[in-house]
Amino acid sequence: MDHVVVVGAGLAGVRSVEALRAHGYQGRITLMGEERHRPYDRPPLSKAVLLGETDSTVVDSDLDALDVRLRLRTAAKGLRRGVLETTEGELEYDGLVIATGAVPIRLRGEGRQHVLRTIDDALELRERLVPGARVAVVGAGWIGAEVATAAARAGCSVAVVEAGETPLAAAVGAFAGGHTIPWYAGAGVELRLGAKVATVDPDGLTLMSGARVTADVVVSGVGVRPAVDWLKGSAVEIGDGVIVDEHLRTSLPNVVAVGDCAAWWSRRFGARLRVEHWDTALQAPDTAAAALLGEPAVYDPVPYFWSEQFGHMVQFAGHREAAERTLLRGDPRGDGRWAVCWLTADDRLAAILTVDRPRDVVQGRRVVQGGQRLDPVRLADPAVPLRDC
């Protein structure tokens, strides 16, 4: 293998380059991305960058030392066996890593809507988060909650409009999400649940009910879709993202996929997973690089992610769809440190969401991995260390 092309210069792309070199690959590497920026981290965009604490989140990686050719402002347009079509012409490859991430879904309407995916999005939005600005955030998911946190801290008047019955309902279900409802009022943020947006207008939002939400700034945080349109018509199988096996190999030989755009087969959970979170972009490239180089690695993690919202550290590990029931650990109305555990029918931990209980998530992730049975009575007692349940 003489030339590996990595498409998508985000975290998963950079980590793929690092992993290829770590696995001893000495051939040429081209890292190609359509943005104009050197690879940067996204989690701080909705936190430190929006809060004005930093302007740059460039990934700490020495691309020169890795001997990689970085081609920015170049987008992949199509793929044939051995040939990548780009906006700058064709590029031949022996091995290809697809790491094109995801793109925000936009709402209908003529009004201006901000999304938050790139550093440019974050800097543009930050300019508009000024004291007194009326900000309407659509979606009380991870991004919506973090944007609302930053906007409220900036002194804006914030309304969050959410179609579901609780915040985070799509991500972690209404039981867990429901316990975050009081955080909104606590931060002075208006939360409208069960409210579906029809259109974004020049002066705010029109809801399906006909009601209006007046706003100076509209932010859509209604999710993303994998950035895989450029692969349509190629031999790479696409479903909800690029379909890859447990080695992260696509249906086309010598082509692997990683990060937000990849839906891999999880042996552990017997399901196809696509996880749009930082830890996956960080870890999966090691397996993908190994697979490309013909080593027998398998990617089978217990997925993990975190979110910082309304002064709380929210962390999640596992795959809740594998569970039968939920159990509350701690009292959300008490000291504010609590967790929701998802248990299988035979009392094994499938997933855990923790709020300001970092030790629980670390131990919980290991317990999900180990697969041991737990005593639900002990698990419900926050004084009992999770690993001893």
Binding residues (CB under 6 A) for ligand FAD: these are 7-13, 32-35, 42-43, 45-46, 75-76, 99-102, 116-117, 143, 227, 230, 259-260, 276-279, 281, 305-307
Closest contact distance (angstroms) between CB of 150 and ligand FAD is: 10
What backbone phi and psi angles, to 5 degrees, belong to 351?
-160, 160
Report the residue number, 136 or 261, with the smaller CB distance to ligand FAD. 261
Report the residue number, 79 or 349, with the smaller CB distance to ligand FAD. 79
CA dihedral 268, 272, 274, 278 (to 10 degrees): 10
Report the residue number, 33 or 177, with the smaller CB distance to ligand FAD. 33
| Beta carbons of 259 and 99 less than 8 angstroms apart | yes
Between the two ends of the chain, the Cα-to-Cα distance in Å is 49
Closest contact distance (angstroms) between CB of 323 and ligand FAD is: 21
Closest contact distance (angstroms) between CB of 75 and ligand FAD is: 4
Q: At what angle do helices 278-292 and 11-22 cross, to 10 degrees?
A: 40
Closest contact distance (angstroms) between CB of 382 and ligand FAD is: 24
Report the residue number, 12 or 379, with the smaller CB distance to ligand FAD. 12
Tell me which amino acid residue 139 is: G
Closest contact distance (angstroms) between CB of 45 and ligand FAD is: 4
| Beta carbons of 322 and 350 less than 8 angstroms apart | yes
Report the residue number, 40 or 265, with the smaller CB distance to ligand FAD. 40
| Beta carbons of 10 and 39 less than 8 angstroms apart | yes
24: tokens are 């001893």
Angstrom distances, CA of residue 104 to CA of 219, 291, 300, 365:
11, 30, 27, 29
| Residue 150 parent element (H or E) | helix 142-153
Closest contact distance (angstroms) between CB of 26 and ligand FAD is: 24
Classify the C-alpha dihedral 261-263-266-270 as positive or negative: positive
Report the residue number, 212 or 232, with the smaller CB distance to ligand FAD. 232
